[in-house]
Amino acid sequence: MNTVNLTCIGCPLGCQIEVLMDDDKNIRLITGNTCPRGEKYARKEVTAPTRIVTSSVRVYGSRQGERMVSLKTASDIPKEKIMDVIRDLRGVSVPCPVRIGDVLLHNIAGTGVDMIATKDVD
């Protein structure tokens, strides 16, 4: 058995939720939440937490003199892959122009998810 402590992000109350898990990673007990949203959040966070990762990489050839373009994972990736995604972005430089939604890198860090631009840069 082990306990995972979480802060619920559902509302400003920020309930401190305790999740009791057995050795096979099955959820045995969720306490501390004060509404069903808290339970749902805790379940997702302890079984398969995911995040959108945002960052920025260099651009070259910008007429506007821009140095960076921002980008994000096109969808959620597993939380434990965040640093792998960031590692794959190191040293990346992309040519202008860039449009919002352009795929800048395919299948980042083997997640099956693309990195797409979040800014127009000319």
Partner 1 sequence: MERTEYNLIIIGGGPAGLAAAVAAYDAGERSILILERETRLGGILNQCIHNGFGLHTFQEELTGPEYAQRFIDKVLERGIEYKLDTMVMSIGQGEDGSKEVMAVNEADGLLLLKARALILAMGCRERSRGALNIPGFRPAGIFSAGTAQRLVNIEGYLPGRRVVILGSGDIGLIMARRMTLEGAKVLVCAELMPYSGGLKRNIVQCLDDFGIPLKLSHTVVRIEGKERVEGVVIAQVGPDRKPIPGTEEHYDCDTLLLSVGLLPENELTIGLGAEISRITNGPVVNESLETSVPGVFAAGNVLHVHDLVDYVSEEAHLAGERAAEYITACKDAMCAPPEKEKQIPVAFSGGIRYTVPCTIDPDKIGDWLKIRFRVGDVMTQRKVVLCLDSEPVLVKKRRVMAPGEMEELVLTRKVLAAHPDLSSIEIRIEEDKA
Distance CA(16)–CA(41), nearest Å, equals 12
What minimum distance in Å lies between the beta carbon of 25 and partner 1? Answer: 20
Instruction: Work out the number of other CB atoms within 10 angstroms of the CB of residue 106.
Output: 9
Strand partners, 77: 51
The one-letter code for the residue type at 96 is: C
Q: Which range touches partner 1 (CB under 8 A), out of 5-13, 22-30, 103-111?
A: 5-13
Q: Which range touches partner 1 (CB under 8 A), out of 17-25, 103-111, 113-121?
A: 113-121
Site membership for partner 1, residue 17 (CB under 8 A): no
Q: Which residues in the 44-103 window bind partner 1 by CB under 8 A?
A: 51-56, 58, 64-68, 70, 72, 79, 82-83, 86, 100
Helix, coil or strand: residue 122: coil
Span between the terminal Cα atoms of the chain, in Å: 55
For partner 1, the binding residues (CB under 8 A) are 6-14, 34, 51-56, 58, 64-68, 70, 72, 79, 82-83, 86, 100, 118-120
